[in-house]
A and B are shown apart, each in its own frame.
Chain A
């Protein structure tokens, strides 16, 4: 126990725990958007966008986070334009963009001798190597995301419910849709660097799926998903530190276990 407390008192571990707690508490809100707006393919595309960002930043010795964020924003805006100008949906555009980004990443890695291993390291994240600026950036996005959801809850719930009805209610559906897509792009760009690809699913998607099992309202879904998120990220991180296992895998495993337990209990209840 004292070993664990000592470990947690170390600055990199403490910063990691703080980052995980913030991410766990707020990122599931972006997961609700991803699932409800059917943006799962876009999430994969954005993860590939970060890999391309990683390749570019390593090739040109640029800071990873700003490059990844800028690239993801460009990809998202390009996709929005593509979706608007053609009959292709977001899913099709995401698939095309995913191929494009990976192809470009492989060419950049080949041309500039970027080791693939270093680029793919992004898939695992680096929660113990966070700078204070990373944590502050994470906090800023978490606050922005929370404020956006709280202030625009009525519009968000109408858009999630039915976009045509939201339009008839005079809501700015397109503007909100674009904002949510950009927020998701920012969250994923940041989360990839800090938490890794595995944790994006563990913190964005699984808490929402767990919360959705029992939630009767959108408000409940947001609150419960965030509570599940903070639970798995906090205790998963501590368990990882205590057992000397990788945090991303431990947290993802805890999320997955929780999902299986909740699903099994619900199935038994409905039998």
Chain B
């Protein structure tokens, strides 16, 4: 705002209006300030500017403790996103009751020019009764199609060795970014199922489709695979080398380095990068494997008994990293385990092998 406009505004309203409450410049739909300094603006519609802001804040190095935003309209969806980003003060031209209560419940100082009961959009309706912040956030990313995951489909899939069927007529339909826990005792075909999804084994009958294609035809690097950490090998391979093997060779060296550093930082193992992978604890190895999959930008993550051989601290750290993945990148994730506690910890949809599919059951 020019000094002249500021003075005009001051004389018209008789008080100093904080920058974030001042009218938006023509064409802009969102302005974000750090104290009184404009740090971000966008002209997009719906939640697009807020997701752009989220991305911007990931690399913004300034102080984020006193962020203020001016938005043209805010329903509960916008409120959820702004609260997650740590915005402390908002001024909204058109605000819904749902948004206002969400802001106030989360300690955000909110003002508005016009308030309505509810925004007339499907997202507002879907969020109306939801309370879990993470689930609401996942829903928003799904609706915004900010999901890395691919669809996974098993159609009447059966597999067996020498006539002995491990599972038969298995039907699974997972949309992009969904999560599934597959349980079953040893020998029920959990790992075999993962190998089928990876295209290493062909189903005896039925179909396996990843992103609508047979596994052999999908783009390389789609699937990130994390194996059980049980091998006690003594071969030198550094953590950084393990993570770097997943980078895209088509990227420049600088970009590859950045991706490796980012992946290591995200799972909190920068300090381990020069260590030999095989000298790490089980939990640390799982973190390295997750960093590798992050670097790979895997769209389907297959985890085979991820909690085996982990102590409780490592197990907790692993679960937190998996939860963070389901909220940020949102790859499609399939975990196979015989760990019954994991079902409670993750609270994901669960399919039990050796039980339901015997009757030709399915999971959707």
A-chain residues with CB within 8 Å of residue B219 when the two chains form the complex:
170
- For the complex, count residues of A whose C-beta is within 8 A of B: 23
Check B274 against A170 for contact (C-beta < 8 Å).
no
B237 and A160 contact, CB distance less than 8 A? yes
- Which of A23-31, A111-119, A211-219 faces chain B? A211-219
**If A154-B244, A157-B245, A162-B227 touch, does A220 touch B198 (CB 8 Å cutoff)?**
no
Determine if A64 is an interface residue (Cβ-Cβ < 8 Å): no
Question: Does A100 sit at the interface, judged by CB under 8 A?
Answer: no
Contact of B225 among A154, A164, A216 (CB under 8 A): A164
Give the complex CA separation of A169 and B225 in angstroms.
9
How many angstroms from the CA of A169 to the CA of B296 in the assembled complex? Answer: 8
Docked complex Cα distance between A164 and B194 (Å): 11
Partner of A165, one of B227, B235, B274: B227
B-contact bits for A138-168, CB 8 A (1 contact / 0 none) = 0000000000000000110110111011111
Contact of B241 with A157 in the complex, beta carbons under 8 Å: yes
CB <8 Å contact, B236 and A218: yes
Contact B198 A217 (CB under 8 A): no
Which residues of the other chain, A, contact B247 by a CB distance below 8 angstroms?
Answer: 154
Q: Does A84 contact B (CB under 8 A)?
A: no
- Interface status of B29 (Cβ within 8 A of chain A): no
For the complex, what is the distance from the CA of A212 to the CA of B244, rounded to whole Å?
A: 21
Residues of chain B with a CB closer than 8 A to A169's CB:
220-221, 245-246, 296
Q: Interface residues of A: mostly helix, strand, loop or mixed?
A: helix
Contact of B235 among A158, A160, A166 (CB under 8 A): A160
Across the interface, do B245 and A216 meet the contact criterion of CB distance under 8 Å? Answer: no
List the A side residues contacting B200 at CB < 8 Å. 164, 167
Report the nearest A residue to B240, measured CB to CB: A217
Check: A81 CB closer than 8 A to any chain B CB: no
Residues of B within 8 A of A161 (CB): 237, 241-242, 245, 277
Q: Judging by beta carbons under 8 Å apart, are A168 and B240 in contact?
A: no
A56 at the interface (CB under 8 A from B): no
Interface status of A110 (Cβ within 8 A of chain B): no
Are A170 and B245 neighbours in the complex by a CB distance under 8 Å? Answer: no
Determine the distance from Cα of A257 to Cα of B225 in the docked complex, in whole angstroms: 42
Q: Is B232 an interface residue (CB 8 A)?
A: no
Q: Is the CB of A165 within 8 A of B236?
A: no
Chain A residues 35-85 with CB under 8 Å of chain B are 36
A221 CB-CB contact with B under 8 Å: yes
Partner of A158, one of B220, B227, B245, B275: B245
Interface residue from B224, B274, B296 paired with A217 (Cβ < 8 Å): B274
The answer to the question of B58 belonging to the interface, with a C-beta cut-off of 8 Å to chain A, is no
Closest chain A residue, CB of each to CB of B244: A154
Chain B residue numbers with a CB within 8 Å of A215 are: 236, 276
A170 to B245, CA, bound (A): 11
Chain A hits for B221, CB < 8 A: 169-170
Query: Are the CB atoms of B238 and A216 closer together than 8 Å?
Result: yes
Least distance between A267 CB and chain B CB atoms (Å): 14
Give chain A residues whose Cβ lies under 8 Å from the Cβ of B249.
Answer: 154
A158 to B223, CA, bound (A): 15
- B237 partner, pick from A154, A157, A164, beta carbons under 8 A: A157
Q: Cβ of A216: which chain B residues have Cβ within 8 Å of it?
A: 236, 238, 274-276
- B296: A residues at CB distance < 8 A: 169
CB contact under 8 A between A217 and B223, given known A154-B244, A169-B246: no
Q: Taking beta carbons and an 8 Å cutoff, which residues of A are in contact with B?
A: 36, 154-155, 157-158, 160-162, 164-170, 212, 215-221
Add 17 more A-B contacts to A161-B277, A212-B235, A212-B236 (CB < 8 A).
A36-B235, A154-B249, A155-B245, A158-B245, A160-B235, A161-B245, A162-B227, A166-B245, A167-B198, A167-B200, A169-B220, A170-B221, A212-B234, A216-B274, A217-B237, A217-B238, A220-B236
8 A-B pairs with the lowest CB-CB distances in the bound complex, closest first: A170-B220, A217-B238, A215-B236, A158-B245, A168-B225, A216-B276, A221-B236, A218-B237
Q: List 6 A-B contacts (CB under 8 A).
A: A154-B245, A169-B245, A170-B219, A217-B274, A219-B241, A220-B236
